Structure 1
Amino acid sequence: MSSKVFVRELHNTVKRTNSQQLKPGLRFRDFISQLQKDGDLIEINKEVDPHLEIGAITRKVYEERLPAPLFNNVKGQQKNLFRILGAPGGLRQNKATDHARIAHHLNLPSNTHVKDIINFLLDAKNKTPIPPHQVTKDQAPIKENLIQGDEIDLTKIPVPFLHHGDGGKYIQTYGMFILETPDKSWTNWSIARGMVKSKNEISGLVINPQHIRVVAEEWAKIGKGDQIPFTLCFGVPPAAILVSSMPIPEGISEQDYIGAILGESLPVIKAETNDILVPATSEIVLEGTLNLNDLSPEGPFGEMHGYVFKGHSHPGPTYKINSISYRNNSIMPISNPGLATDETHTLIGTLVAAEAKQIAIENDLPIIDVFSPYESQALWLVMKIDLKKLQSLNTTPEEFSNKIGEIFFNTKVAFIMHEIILVGDDIDIFDFKQVIWAYTTRHTPGDDQYYFPNVKSFALAPFVSQSERIKTLKGGKFVTNCIFPKQYKQDIDFTTCNFDGYDEEIKNKVLTNWESYGYEKLE
């Protein structure tokens, strides 16, 4: 089945899902019910400590690819604040359904391959945007409870302390900030981490080229950089949290794109203290003002690369909280980043790949697929090249690699990536074993690597933050050409020395007789 036909079938699945009761992409509680239905949720009713215990359990779940934990009895819980869901974007053990949680973020079937998730997201860009619709208070579960002013104390609710060495309790790891430009021409939904600073303040990481920073700078231009209205929403429609991770172009409002993906409008309602519209089915909504001028240490925090560098903090601006709305028996979803694979890889890596593929299409590049292997900790971007089209360009490895670097390293899409790897069309880039084989055997270190010294570095990359490069935030990025030079001109006749390299007759014979050889049945 062609990718276009498959994507069309996926959209038909979304339509069928929209006519059924459970809509896991639209409603967070439906997402949890879908995990329950799949046998992919463990409800933990024993009291658990938000100080490291929840973090440790969640990391074990990621690493063993176990069902997502729902902590129903969190030490320090009060006034419905809050239960905790861990690993909402973790992988499953079963290879056929390993990306099921990500698929359910989009109302897609459990067995949707990550490649088809990427193509589904790209196809949605061609659909008519569907803006959200405003509902009344009685239609908005988020309005069930409200605390304001002196009642707010973030230090007394069970905000998790996730890793040894973290700079504090991180309330924001899987929520969604909403900010609007002063003229309301752009509403941005995005993810950025946030640490509890005081009873009513959060210190955040707000850096370029994050869209939060771009919107905030618009307020600073009119002299209001210390009073920027914001909301921070948890337990939002899963499609919203996924799209808010995407590096979509500046000025595009995620809320309309989400409607196109789901095939229906999101219900929203006005916040309590500003004009921002928030998802009506959110679990918890914090609101207040962001002050770019009130800086305090933020971090360290165990990020997507798998390290906590003790004492390594950044000056972060302050979010002052003046209102908290929340549902009865509310649930706080969390991500506990670290060694692959968690949401910082399954969401960020996958969504960067989708946007990079879009850029490839727009620039008519001979790129079939793009992916960030989870094992690369979201630092590699691998591109599968159509060799026939490459040969028709009559180009060289140096010329083509430099073109790729100039296009991608100068966009927000590849900002977090430090190496782009080019491989031929015989490599399945969604199989890391094949990627690392191509990487180690098809390029000469140094000779086939093209350096880009003047592009922006990613400050959170450990080899940047722990080196002199942190002072300049420039360079440290390569395009590595893992395509043999001869393949730029003609095909090379070679056989791979693995099982797939045998002809179909031999393979079928071996598979048919596998159990009679004395081996267990293959899945």
Structure 2
Amino acid sequence: MSLTDLRAYIEALRGLGEVQDVTAPVALDLELGAIVRRCYETGSPAPFFSAFSDHPSGFRILGAPAGASRQPGMRLARVAVSLGLPPTAGGLDIVEAIAGSLDRPAIAPVVVDEAPCFENVATGDEVDLARLPVPMLHHGDGGRYLNTWGCIVARMPDGSWTNWSIARMMMVDGRRLTGIVAPQQHVGMVAKSWADLGRPMPFALALGVEPAIPFICGMPLPAHVDEGGRLGALLGRPVRTVRCRTVDLEAPASAEILIEGHLHLDEMVDEGPMGEFAGYVPPERVPRPVYRVSALSHRHDAILPVVVAGEPVEENHTAWGIPSAAQILHHLREAGIPATTAWIPLQAALHWLVVTVPRDWRRRTGIDTPEALCRRIGEIVFATKAGGVIPKVIVLNDDVDPTDLDELVWAFATRCHPLLGHVVFEQVPAAPLLAYLRQNEKMSGSTGKVVYNCLPPDEWGEALPIRASFRHGYPAGIVDRVRCRWSEYGFR
């Protein structure tokens, strides 16, 4: 069953041993960020902070809300529980659940009359964002980042499309925020439609929402598709929303903290840098548009979720990468590619995508050669919104489990021909945050990309070599017998 607010989610994680209560006061300046980073890198439970040495009481912070776990069999427990799946669900199960929901009709959100976030309301001159515990997350960040895991709500002027998204937001002062608003991003498209009318864009920022919402906000759905309806299809129920107090929008009613206001594309302040998903703190400080805040509402003892982006594995790699793989899998199947699965390895920081196909892909596609299949896969992937981020695609037979990094490295190393094993794409769209891009590529928004052909050579046909492994190298009866007798042999 899916959980409908952040507090229920925290209790569910606590029951699984996936929350660590931190009652000792910690500093918002770097100490909290360092703790969260260490939790990511050690697979520790999500840290839940209740006291700060440099900020008054009255708020709490949940770090690493969808980080990976070190518990055996529950590496993606936080992701699975967020989406209403069993905590033991693996990556491929989660991808298939999300991809499968894309064929179901949307279930639109429902509007409720009241929400707990209105227990405390400030509007106009009474608004002061500094009341919130806004941390300095990385050494080298250009400011304090309030939004790392919140839902930005925006709507086209004619009401035809309501977009939910995630984008970093830095606090400028008590009444202003700023962040990336790229023209190719959906929030940028909506903002431009308002600017074309000579008006700022109304927005709402819902922080501390029910746990599934950030996943749909990070999913690269096509333009003009409402995320709220697609999340309803995934969960099998409508998401509750509530009317904002100062803008004509509905925001998730589960929010712990709700911020309202207008985005002004014609007003700029310097933003960044900030540690990002590729694992680096870039040097750039760039002028960005200003979000002017007209209302700040929050629950008593409100909880702010915090993501500290950087080296894998963190939420960019789970809540962005996993839904992106699901969206790409859906696109491939729609285009007639019989993909068994698609997976973005968590450790690759969204720079790799793995696509697996069955050995009879020639008969099922009518495509004759592995090179032609890889080129077709690249054409489909790189034309999608998700594919704009991914520069490297690995195509394998589906005897390989792409979520097993040991197996993936072995398969790539032994199956990719050093001269013939790649299909190159020149000057295709690319996200400017890819780690290795040169400045001219960032400015143009394009670079070269590659599909690695790890399929058997043409003369093998559908044949695959026998793998010399326990799972693949012995008759099924022997494999089952050894598994059943493992403790009898004296192994734990």
Give the TM-score, by structure 1 length: 0.89
How far apart, in 2, do the equivalents of 1:208 and 1:388 lie?
Answer: 41
Query: Who is 1:91 aligned against?
Result: 68
Aligned sequence identity (%): 34
Contact 1:76/1:157, CA 8 A, preserved across alignment: no
Mapped partners of 2:39, 2:127: distance in 1: 32
Match of 1:495 among 455, 458, 466: 466
> How much has 1:103 moved relative to structure 2?
1.1
Unaligned runs of 5+ in 1: 1-16, 18-22
Which residue in 2 is equivalent to 1:197? 172
Alpha-carbon separation, structure 1, partners of 2:216 and 2:77: 17
Aligned ranges 1:130-169 → 2 under 5 Å = 130-137=107-114, 140-155=115-130, 157-169=132-144
Provide the C-alpha distance between the structure 1 equivalents of 2:456 and 2:44, rounded to a whole number of angstroms: 40
Partner of 1:373: 345
Shift of 1:485: 2.1
Matching of residue 185 in structure 1 with residue 160 in structure 2: yes
1:147 aligned counterpart, secondary structure: strand
Q: Answer whether contact 2:36 2:64 (CA < 8 A) is retained.
A: yes
Cα 1:198–1:249 change in 2 (3 A) is same
Gaps of 5+ in 2: none
Quick one: structure 1 residues 107 and 513, their matched pair in 2 at CA, closer, same or farther if it must change by over 3 Å? closer
Look up the SS of the partner of 1:315 in the other structure.
Answer: strand
Matched, 1:419 2:392: yes
The equivalent residue for 2:377 is 404
Instruction: Describe the shift of the 1:78–1:276 C-alpha distance in structure 2 as closer, same or farther (beyond 3 A).
Output: farther
Equivalent pairs counted in the alignment come to 490
Between the aligned partners of 1:141 and 1:509, the Cα distance in structure 2 is 56
Whole-angstrom CA distance in 2 between matches of 1:164 and 1:259: 39
The 1:468/1:407 distance shift into structure 2, 3 A limit, reads same
Distance 1:270 1:501, change over 3 A: closer
Q: Secondary structure at the match of 2:360?
A: helix
Q: What amino acid is the match of 2:433?
A: L
Match of 2:25 among 47, 51, 67: 47
Corresponding letter in the other structure for 1:73:
A
Aligned counterpart for 1:385 among listed residues 353, 357, 365: 357
Tell me which amino acid in the other structure corresponds to 1:321: V
Check whether the contact 2:425–2:449 (CA below 8 A) recurs between aligned residues: yes
Report the equivalent of 2:13.
35
- 253-262 vs 43-52, which moves further: 253-262
- Does structure 2 conserve the Cα–Cα contact (< 8 Å) formed by 1:346 and 1:374? yes
Structure 1 residues 322-401: aligned runs within 5 Å: 322-391=294-363, 393-401=366-374
* Partner Cα separation in structure 2 for residue 241 and residue 449 of structure 1: 35
Identify which of 477, 496, 515 aligns with 2:449.
477
Q: Which residue of 1 aligns with 2:288?
A: 316
Q: Quick check: 1:77–1:83 contact (8 Å CA) kept in 2?
A: no
Q: Say which SS state the counterpart of residue 97 (structure 1) adopts.
A: coil
Cα distance change, pair 252–391 in 1 and its aligned pair in 2 (3 A)? same
Partners in 2 of 1:298 and 1:445 — Cα distance? Answer: 42
Q: Which moved more, 1:106-115 or 1:355-364?
A: 106-115
Cα distance in 1 between the residues matched to 2:484 and 2:80 = 33
Distance 2:432 2:378 in 1: 19
Q: TM-score, normalised by structure 2?
A: 0.94
Q: Secondary structure at the match of 1:306?
A: coil
Shift of 1:446: 4.9
2:188 maps to which residue? Answer: 213
Query: Which residue number in structure 2 is paired with residue 62 of structure 1?
Result: 40
What is the SS of the residue equivalent to 1:354?
Answer: helix
Distance between the aligned counterparts of 1:257 and 1:126, measured in 2?
10
* 2:224 aligned to which of 225, 248, 251: 251
Instruction: Give deviations 1:140-192, integer Å, cap 9, x for gaps.
Output: 10110012233333345321111111111111100110000000111000001
Deviation at 1:117, TM superposition (A): 1.4
CA distance in 2, matches of 1:126, 1:367: 16
Q: Which residue of 2 aligns with 1:8?
A: none
Q: Does 1:113 align with 2:84?
A: no
Q: How does 1:420-459 map to 2 (within 5 A)?
A: 420-459=393-432
Cα RMSD for the two superposed structures: 2.0
Compare 154-163 and 340-349 and name the one that shifted more. 154-163
Amino acid at match of 1:64: T
Identify if the C-alpha distance between structure 1 residues 270 and 511 changes in structure 2 by more than 3 Å, giving closer, same or farther: closer
1:467, distance to aligned residue in structure 2 (A)? 4.3
Matched residue SS, 2:447: coil
Q: Secondary structure at the match of 2:433?
A: coil
CA contact (8 A) 1:130 1:263 kept: yes
- Cα distance, 1:76 vs. partner? 4.2
Offset of 1:65 from its aligned partner?
1.1
Contact kept, 8 Å, 1:75 with 1:158, in 2: the verdict is no
Q: Give, in whole Å, the separation in 2 of the partners of 1:516 and 1:115.
A: 32
Distance 2:53 2:293 in 1: 23
